[in-house]
Structure 1
Amino acid sequence: MLETPSRRAPKDRKRTEVSGSDETMEDIWRDFPEDLYEAVIARLPIATFFRFRSVCQNWNSLLKSNSFTLQCAQFLPRQTWFYTITHEIVNSGAMYDPDSRKWHHPIVPKIPTKMIVLPVASAGGLLCFLDIGHRSFYVCNPLTNSFKELPTRSAKIRSRVAVGMIMNEKLGKGAYSIMWLATNGEYEVYDSIKNSWTREGTMPDCIKLPLSLNFNMQIVAAGGLMYLLRSDPDGILSYDMESRVWKQYLVPAPPQSRDHALAECGGRIMLVGLVTKNAATCVSVWELQKMTLLWKEVDRMPNVMCLEFYGKHVKLSCLGNKGLLMLSLETKMMNRLITYDILKKEWLKVPGCMPPHRRKQLLIACGTAFHPSITAVA
């Protein structure tokens, strides 16, 4: 009988302490200077901001606040996210946050649902979409649904294309440029300030045409330049967005490799691809040696990850081309997603993409990396 109160006493004291702690926190936040709220919120992870935004209308108004935009601009872009399209739900995206290792399922309401629209490039928190018929371009911020359909181009695209996007602050705050390139060497550049396309012409005669292009061939933007991988002959094309000059570098592909994708990290040009020897297949990473114009292998996927692909035909797709990559390794029986951090040389398996109210994981069809931003405007 006497033991019962002694067991409850600590619990009662704990309840009192928690209650007192809650009251103290309420007092702190009640007296917290209003001009510091935005500074604190701007430092929160993107996912946390949107979780609280769903239950607090005042947080929604921050997206239209100029002072909040300035607070966010003081910070470097957060960790890379990935925006993907699945085979099952083509026009509904799935975003992956590597920090929390969670999938999010946004809805971009203004994207047409009667046609297949794919993400083809990104810059400054914005995504560029192109319909599979090459007729219409769209730009949007998938976090805020800021959306714009780009004007009709002067030239019709009758072949496969590659698309690149780059921020261009020299043109104005939040300005960006988009370039599409066709297999015959024709290309156009979009200026977001003028809201118009400029037909620049065709590539110089020294560049062999036609080019081998497809939706999965990503253009890498770095330092005002656009880089593109080419074949026959193997090499890299570069386009200077300011001087409007094309250059070609002949770089032989690494032996016994295929399914190449170009990437960039801190000004270094990288290459990702599959290497197959006998029945063993593995992902390798190379860095371009600028003096010799040769690829040097700098990393390889751990053997324990390669084992599950032994003896199987594997197809590699690379989503994203900056410091963090998402690799899609597909066989007849599975689709494995792996992230690779170029600086850390870290390989991590990505959890399956399971949308709400579904029991089956979705298969990723294509996608691109982007830096999430709650202030970027299309």
Structure 2
Amino acid sequence: MEPSAELSMAPAANGRKRKCPPRPGLGDIHQDMLERVLARLPPASFFRLRAVCRGWRAAAASRTFLDACARVPRRDPWFLMLSDHRPHHPVAFDAAERSWLKNACHADAAPGPAVPVAASGGLVLYRAPATGALSVSNPLTRASGALPPAPQPSQGQQQQLHAIAMYGSPYRVALFTGELLDDLSMAVFDSSKGSWETPVALARSRPSADAPPVQDTDTVYFLSKSGDVVATNMQRSASKQYSSVVVPSNSNDTAAVAYFLSHSGTVVACDTAARTFAELPRILPVHFEYSIDVVACGAAAYAVVLSEHLDTASLRVWEFAAGAWRQVAAMPPAMSHGFCGKKADINCVGHGHRLMVCVSGSSAEVSGCFMCDVRSNRWEELPKCVDGDGEANEFLAAFSFEPRLEINV
């Protein structure tokens, strides 16, 4: 029997039982310590703090609680899922809790009709397809702010936009425009200054001294979002049309290397510090049907390729190193074989060592989301996200971010 229980059973001098004094609880913890404890809870619990008691409600609304959240060094990512059928009903996948969150984040936090195009840290960048206006938002708090208009080229002519990158803390947004083979340029927005830097031209470079030059005279065939085999021009969804992945640059903390897909399906690498870009060699030969996407996991960039050969399908992860592509991971054949003949398309996103692959095809049986640990090459299919009516959601793509309440826009 516990000591407190013995105390409660001991008779008093007058023959009556003495009451045990109440044990200390969370209500007796000092406010500063309480906020530190609450800050360590899973982010999905933040929305229920205010309903527990007045003390917790006050703690969740305090500035010092947000400071305690900021001292948590790292949080497992949430994946903001995108669907063409229900664009205004945001769904997130909590990688730590292994669960779907249907009301915990706000994909419509950006003003006006905008779609997510990039993410960094705890923020998501949105772009209005009609005007090209950019805005940034914290999906948890729904706080958002518009970026000033991007600078136009000196000649005043509208240049073709190839990719949008978001990186760093304070965050930066980079726009890559121009003619890919001739005069690619970069414009960078610095959030610490609240303004755009003057656009700069990027010099073309070779990926390495041993890498052969990229030849763009041949046609590359790949799968479109609808599952049709098309040529010459990449067909991306609205959110993935200008997407890129970013890895830290070795030169300094404020620079990065952005990777994106060209219109012919090659991977382009842009060094924001050296102000250079290079087209990497093709992974598969021309006249080969495949679906390709680029993804960043940790400090490395990868290309994910879904292809068919000899009556089967394979999904492989490649890394460009020492002037050549090398395979670092592959989905087990028993999992990838179901994509054979289904004209499946892939959209990928990474965070830390996790790689999520969203597969969509001509039929609902092909659609699904898969998670891979790139370090161990372990794959798993995520459970279906079922609506209240019993129908499973089909997700075309995702963006990863750290769920953080303390990040301001």
- Report the TM-score range of the alignment, normalised by the length of the smaller protein: 0.7 to 0.9
Instruction: Point out where structure 2 has 5 or more consecutive residues left out of the alignment.
Output: 1-7, 9-19, 207-213, 217-231, 249-254
**CA–CA distance in 2 between the matches of 1:352 and 1:244?**
44
Structure 1 residues without counterparts, runs of 5 or longer:
1-15, 17-22, 169-174
Count of aligned pairs: 346
C-alpha deviation, 1:337, in angstroms: 1.1
TM-superposed CA distance for 1:104, in Å, is 1.7
User: Displacement, 1:167?
Assistant: 1.9
Superposition deviation, residue 230 in structure 1: 4.3
Q: Deviations over 1:272-306 (max 9, x none)?
A: 111311221121012222x2x11111221112212
Q: Distance in 2 between the 1:82 and 1:353 partners?
A: 13
Match of 1:73 among 41, 66, 70: 70
Between the aligned partners of 2:339 and 2:109, the Cα distance in structure 1 is: 40
Q: Report the equivalent of 1:20.
A: none
State the distance in 1 between where 2:266 and 2:234 align.
11
- Over the aligned positions, Cα root-mean-square deviation in angstroms equals 3.3
Match of 1:222 in 2: 247
Shift in Å at residue 58 of structure 1?
4.9
Q: Cα deviation per residue 1:255-280 (whole Å; 9 max; x = unaligned)? A: 56732222233423322111311221
Equivalent residue in structure 1 for 2:371, among 339, 342, 360: 339
Q: 1:120 to 1:26 in 2, by over 3 A?
A: farther
Percent identity reads 23
Tell me, yes or no, if the aligned pair for 1:134 and 1:157 is still in contact at 8 Å. no
**Which residue does 1:359 correspond to in 2?**
390
Q: Secondary structure at the match of 1:91?
A: coil
SS in 1 for 2:97: coil
1:60 and 1:77, CA in 2 relative to 1: closer, same or farther beyond 3 A? farther
1:265 pairs, out of 292, 297, 318, with 297
1:364 is paired with a residue whose SS is: coil
Report the counterpart of residue 404 of structure 2 in structure 1: 373
- 2:336 corresponds, among 306, 309, 312, to 306
Q: Which residue of 2 aligns with 1:190?
A: 189
- Aligned partners of 1:354, 1:211: CA distance in 2, in Å? 35
- Cα deviation, residue 235, structure 1: 4.5
User: 1:1-378 residue pairs with structure 2 within 5 A?
Assistant: 27-56=24-53, 58-59=55-56, 61-62=58-59, 65-105=62-102, 106-107=105-106, 110-112=109-111, 115=113, 117-155=114-152, 159-168=160-169, 175-184=170-179, 185-204=184-203, 215-216=239-240, 218-223=243-248, 224-231=255-262, 234-240=266-272, 243=273, 245-248=275-278, 250-255=280-285, 258-289=290-321, 291=322, 293-320=323-350, 322-334=352-364, 335-355=367-387, 357-378=388-409
TM-score by length of 1: 0.79
AA in 1 matched with 2:401:
F
Q: Residues 203, 24 of structure 1: CA spacing in aligned structure 2 closer, same or farther, 3 A cutoff? A: farther
**1:161: Cα distance to partner?**
3.5
Instruction: Provide the secondary structure at the position in 1 that maps to 2:406.
Output: coil
Give the direction of change, closer, same or farther, for the CA distance of 1:244–1:332 in structure 2 (3 Å limit).
same
- Greater alpha carbon shift after TM alignment, 64-73 vs 32-41: 64-73
Higher helix share: 1
Label 1:64 to 1:98 Cα distance change in 2 as closer, same or farther (>3 A): same
Residue 108 to residue 251, structure 1, CA distance change in 2 (3 Å): closer
C-alpha contact (below 8 Å) 1:320/1:367 kept by paired residues: no
Given that 1:254 and 1:295 are in contact with CA atoms closer than 8 Å, whether structure 2 keeps it comes out as: no
Q: CA deviation at 1:130?
A: 0.8
Paired residue secondary structure (1:363): coil
**Amino acid aligned to 1:180:** L
Q: Helix, strand or coil for the counterpart of 2:396?
A: strand
Mean Cα deviation higher: 144-153 or 66-75 = 66-75
CA contact 1:84–1:94 (8 Å) conserved in 2? yes
Q: Which has the higher contact order (CA 8 A, sep 6+)?
A: 1
Label 1:92 to 1:239 Cα distance change in 2 as closer, same or farther (>3 A): farther
Structure 1 counterpart of 2:187, one-letter code:
E
Cα distance in 2, alignment partners of residues 191 and 213 from structure 1: 30
- Determine the structure 2 residue equivalent to 1:7: none
